[in-house]
Structure formats: structure tokens, C-alpha cells
Amino acid sequence: MTADLTIVSTNRSFGGWHKRYRHTSRTLGCDMVFAVFLPPQAETGRVPVLYWLSGLTCTDENFMQKAGAQKLAAELGITIVCPDTSPRGDHVPADPEKHWDFGHGAGFYVDATQEPWARHYRMHDYVTRELPDLIEATFPVTDRRGISGHSMGGHGAIVCALRNPGRYASVSAFAPIASPLSCPWGEKALGHLLGADRSGWKDWDSAALIQSATEKLPLLVDQGDADSFLITQLKPHLLTQAAEAAGYPLTLRMQPGYDHSYYFIASFIDDHLKHHAAALR
């Protein structure tokens, strides 16, 4: 066990274990909490890992408590790791206007270049490098990795996979922000974190990255057609357009009547787990 890792809680679940840990992140310059579900197979051998990135205002707890993923993950022999959604602490700057869509709980999974954000808001480096290094050094897991997420975390999952060819074996998303370049949430966050020059934002935009992708992992996306953020913030048609232009293997399923909530995620999480399991095996 890594000396810096402190256990926060532990619960038996479907023959495996759900555990929460706290550690000091050198990348983010603060203490971070993450959750891990270890399936029963991890007691006798190493298993692959699915990283889940949550959305705005969430923590490591939302997915683990609401998605209902543990039962099938236990059957498939997949570990699930859920990091927090941003750096936290009194010394970590937050939205100066105290809004919920930026700052604490809203790190957008990018590496900031602008002050005062650059010291702490390096969530991309954290979830693609520091956290996997810690997980793989501490737990009985392999280096076979999948990545998925919801909303801001769906954007994060796609961007992490596209920016790091060869690092992940699978990728999927629920209701992702398809193009932070093209929506108010993204414009606000990237403007703060990356500065006013929008040309640099394309390096963190799913739709833009698909067009230049050198690795073409099959991408499964589910989107509810009753999602209140569909038109103004999420804009999945931009993913479709980019994938069609680039010949990228995208399966985007519009789900009738579903909204942005975890009721939606819980309804289709099994399909995503099976999508990842097929590649992670």
C-alpha cells in the first residue's frame, strides 16, 4: 500500500469491495479523494480497469451510489475507478462569481495554462497519468484501461482517449459535452483555464479531436432526447458530423424520453460495461 494513501470508507458489494481513499496529489497540489470498486476476481488475480469521469457538481460518490454498475462489473471482472471532478481545498481557487458551473466540482478535465488556475487545475494529467500510476502500483489491476463518463465527464473521457492514443483500450460516454468550443459551459471554463485565444481550445474539444484522430477506438455514446441541456450545451450532432467527416467509428444512440439524470445512466450502464469488457479482455 502506498504510504500516502489513506482509506476513507469500505463497503462489501456483490462479492467485491467498494473503497474510498484520500491521497495528496502532486499534480493538483491538494488532497484528493477517489473511489474504487474491486470485483471478486481481484482477490485472486489482476483485472482491467474502467475509469469513470463524472459531471459538473459531482464527486467520486455519484456514480458509485447511483449508476448500479457494481453487479455487472463483478460478473465481468472489471475494476471501476472514480476520481473527483476537480481539485479542492480552501487554497484552490474557485469561480470568482461563485457559480456551480466552474471551479470546485467543475475541473473540465483539461490542463490549465492561465493563472490563478494553472497551479491546481490539471485534471487531464491527473486522470490520465498520476491516478492510473497510483492505481496500478497499489491494487491488483492490469494496465488494460477503459474510460467513460457523463456530461462534463463524457467530454473528459473522449478527450482523454483521443489525446492519448494507445493508453486506453475502450471509450464511451453518456450525454457528453460534444464541443466545449461551442457551448456556454465550455466557453466559460476554457476561457478561464486556457485563456482568450480560442485556437488553443481545439486541443480539448471532442468534435475537433475526432477529425484528427490517429487511433480510432469504437466510441459508444448514449444521449437522452428529453435532456434539458441537449440543445444549448451538449450538441451531439457535432460529434456525428465530425465522425462522419473523419470516418470515425461512432455509435450515437438517441434514447427517447430520457433526461440528464442518473436514472438515464443506470438504464444503459450495462451496455457500456459490456462495450468496455469486450475490449478490456
> Active-site residues: which are they?
151, 227, 260
Q: Tell me: cis bond preceding 116? Omega within 30 of 0 counts.
A: yes
Cell 481539485 locates to 87
b/e sequence 57-96, b meaning 16+ C-beta within 10 Å:
ebbbebbbeebbbbebbbbbbbbbbbbbbbbbeeebbbbe
Rg (CA), the chain: 17
Q: For residue 271, give the amino acid letter.
A: D
Contact 194, 118 (CB under 8 A): no
What is the C-alpha separation between 139 and 79, in angstroms, rounded? 10
Which set of grid coordinates corresponds to residue 263?
A: 436514472
Closest CA to 36 of 55, 24, 52, 23: 52
Which of the 8 DSSP states describes residue 87? -
DSSP per-residue string spanning 8-26: EEEEEETTEEEEEEEEEET
Cell 460516454 locates to 173
Cell 465481468 locates to 76
Length of the chain equals: 281
